[in-house]
């Protein structure tokens, strides 16, 4: 009965203990701005954005908070959404970023259009609707970004590296879209269906638009966990390629016919579609090259133990010490004999009479 009673008491204590409330996502104040009472917080993505709750879940949405900040006679509203990691925050940032937005140096990356400012830092995405834009608005929002809570682990606070493989030449500004699931792939109108990308193996996808002589081409980069998986998916993608015209003299991407070219570089699969000639498609694909990052976690220098010179020096030092010790002991032994013969003649060494030795005569 005692164990059952103990368990019952523990369950009662746990049930009676009030749950610790989560820390607010937005700070109470920053740069002279103070949060007004009545902020809204929750973990339902339908409250954060009723138009794209499934997409937010796919990016790893955790919770959000909407608040109004005031200073003197001014006020503005702000909404912050927290995700499981920085990849989710970056993906949502690319989804909400508008083509006409200008780059802003706020947080990890920011953009603005008129009075709307969008930025993310770590795993938190912030949308601010300012009452007016001043010379200090960017500096004030940078102070806000520094006050946002951040994850303790580095792997959850670092943005994805896949977008860095998008070529810079002829890139259409603000066209990059980062995707981690089929909902996002459909939302950005990617040229490949989710079945070909195969999100069951956890790939990452980034899409960018590029200006060509014929119009606009789309470059789709897919990062798979291993090169072997990338090879298999490339075969499936090439098998779905639209059939080429019967006339062999017609170029691969003739005017009016969408381009379709693909290649693999390490675990990356690159696909070019849209309005581009064969030469332009090859040029885009040639600019995508996987660069493996190798982390060396051992010393790149020789320590005292690993240095052969120090080892030889230690050997010679030991030999010298042994020689000096032998010399000292030899001098000490010889000196003791000399002193003994001088002060105790014929008593310790060099006796004139033989010392009698007891012998047993065992002969029969």
- At 280, which CATH number? 3.40.1000
Q: What is the pLDDT of residue 257?
A: 55
- Which is more confidently placed, 174 or 252? 174
- Structure tokens given for 85: 């990691």
For 277, residues 6+ apart whose C-beta sits below 8 A from its C-beta are 212, 213, 214, 251, 253, 259
The enclosing H or E element of 110 equals: strand 109-113
Q: Which helix (H) or strand (E) holds 271?
A: strand 268-274
CB 243 within 8 A of CB 185: no
Query: Percentage of residues in the chain with pLDDT exceeding 90?
Result: 65
Beta carbons within 8 Å of 227's beta carbon, 6+ residues apart = 264, 266, 267
The residue range of the domain holding 316 is 306-364
Does any domain span residue 170? yes
Q: Are 356 and 324 in the same domain? A: yes
Write down the mean pLDDT value for the chain. Answer: 84
- Judge whether 36 lies within some domain: yes
Report if residue 291 sits inside a domain: no
Is 298 among the domain residues? no
Measured over the CA atoms of residue 180, residue 181, residue 183 and residue 185, the dihedral's sign is: positive
Task: Please tell me what DSSP assigns to residue 171.
Answer: B
More confident residue, 5 or 316: 316
Contact 109, 120 (CB under 8 A): yes
Claim to verify: residue 330 and residue 228 sit in the same structural domain: no
Q: pLDDT tens digit string along 38-59? A: 999 999 999 999 999 999 999 9
Instruction: Kindly state whether residues 180 and 133 are assigned to the same domain.
Output: no
Q: CA 292, 295, 298: angle at the middle one, nearest 5?
A: 150
Whether 218 is in a domain gets the answer yes
Asked if residue 279 and residue 336 are part of one domain, the reply reads: no
Which of 157, 181, 209 finishes a domain? 157
Q: What is the pLDDT of residue 18?
A: 39
Same domain, 70 and 193: no
User: Helix (H, G, I), strand (E, B), or coil: what is residue 284?
Assistant: helix
More confident residue, 247 or 103: 103
DSSP, collapsed to helix, strand or coil, labels residue 178 as strand
More confident residue, 42 or 341: 42
Summarised one tens digit per residue, pLDDT across range 220-268 is: 999 999 999 999 999 999 998 766 554 444 444 455 456 789 999 999 9
CB atoms within 10 A of CB 350: 10
Please name the residues in contact with 284: beta carbons below 8 A apart, sequence gap of 6 or more: 167, 210, 217, 219, 270, 272, 276
State the pLDDT at residue 17. Answer: 39
pLDDT reported for residue 349: 62
What's phi and psi for 238, nearest 5 deg? -70, -30
Residue 314 to residue 22: CA distance in whole angstroms: 61
Q: Under a CB-based contact definition with an 8 Å cutoff, are residues 284 and 167 in contact? A: yes
Looking at per-residue confidence, does 308 or 155 come out higher? 308
Asked whether residue 8 is assigned to any structural domain, the reply reads no
Assess whether 357 and 266 both reside in one domain.
no
Q: 38 and 66 in contact (C-beta within 8 Å)?
A: no
More confident residue, 185 or 254: 185
| Stronger pLDDT, 139 or 357, i.e. the higher one | 139
If asked whether residues 271 and 208 sit together in one domain, one would say: yes
The verdict on residue 274 lying in a domain is: yes
Is residue 74's pLDDT more than 90?
A: yes
Domain boundary among 127, 157, 187: 157
Q: Are residues 170 and 147 in the same domain?
A: no
| 270-317 residue pLDDT tens | 999 999 998 999 999 999 999 876 555 555 556 666 677 777 888 889
Note whether residue 14 is domain-resident.
no
Are 42 and 148 found together in one domain?
A: yes
Of 157, 189, 221, the residue at which a domain comes to its end is 157
What pLDDT does 21 receive?
A: 44
Long-range interactions of 193-197: CB distance < 8 A, separation 24+? 196/233, 196/236, 196/237, 196/240, 197/222, 197/233
Residue 333 has pLDDT above 90, yes or no: no
What pLDDT, on the 0 to 100 scale, is given for residue 302?
Answer: 60
The verdict on 215 and 257 lying in the same domain is: yes
Tell me what the mean pLDDT of segment 60-75 comes to.
95
Residue 9 has pLDDT above 70, yes or no: no
Is the same domain home to 197 and 276?
Answer: yes
The number of domains in the chain is 3
- Same structural domain, 167 and 274: yes
């Amino acid at each position: 009965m005692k164990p059952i009673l103990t368990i019952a008491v523990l369950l009662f204590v746990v049930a009676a203990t009030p749950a610790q409330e989560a820390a607010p996502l937005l700070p109470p104040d920053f740069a002279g701005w103070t949060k007004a009472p009545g902020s809204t917080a929750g973990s339902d993505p339908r409250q954060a954005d009723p138009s794209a709750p499934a997409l937010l879940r796919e990016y790893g949405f955790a919770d959000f908070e909407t608040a109004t900040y005031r200073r003197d006679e001014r006020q503005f509203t702000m909404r912050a959404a927290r995700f499981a990691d920085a990849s989710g925050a970056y993906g949502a940032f690319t989804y909400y970023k508008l083509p006409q937005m200008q780059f802003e140096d706020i947080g990890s990356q920011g953009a603005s259009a008129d009075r709307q400012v969008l930025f993310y830092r770590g795993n938190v995405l912030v949308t601010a609707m300012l009452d007016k834009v001043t010379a200090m608005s960017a500096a004030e929002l940078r102070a806000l970004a520094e006050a946002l809570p951040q994850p303790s682990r580095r792997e959850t606070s670092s943005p994805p590296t896949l977008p860095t493989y998008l070529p810079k030449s002829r890139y259409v500004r603000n066209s990059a879209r980062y995707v981690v699931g089929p909902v996002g792939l459909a939302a950005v109108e990617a040229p490949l269906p989710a079945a070909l990308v195969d999100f069951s193996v956890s790939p990452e996808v980034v899409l960018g638009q590029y200006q060509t002589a014929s119009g606009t081409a789309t470059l789709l980069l897919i990062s798979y966990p291993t090169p072997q998986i990338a090879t298999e998916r490339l075969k499936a993608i090439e098998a779905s390629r639209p059939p080429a015209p019967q006339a062999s003299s017609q170029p691969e991407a003739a005017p009016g016919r969408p381009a379709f070219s693909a290649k693999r570089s390490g675990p990356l699969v690159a696909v070019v579609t849209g309005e581009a000639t064969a030469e332009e498609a090859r040029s885009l694909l040639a600019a995508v090259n996987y660069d493996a990052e190798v982390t060396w976690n051992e010393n790149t220098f020789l320590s005292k133990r690993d240095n052969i010179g120090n080892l030889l020096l230690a050997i010679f030092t030991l030999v010298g010490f042994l020689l000096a010790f032998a010399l000292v002991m030899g001098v000490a032994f010889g000196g003791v004999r000399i002193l003994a013969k001088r002060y105790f003649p014929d008593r310790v060494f060099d006796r004139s009479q033989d010392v009698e030795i007891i012998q047993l005569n065992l002969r029969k």
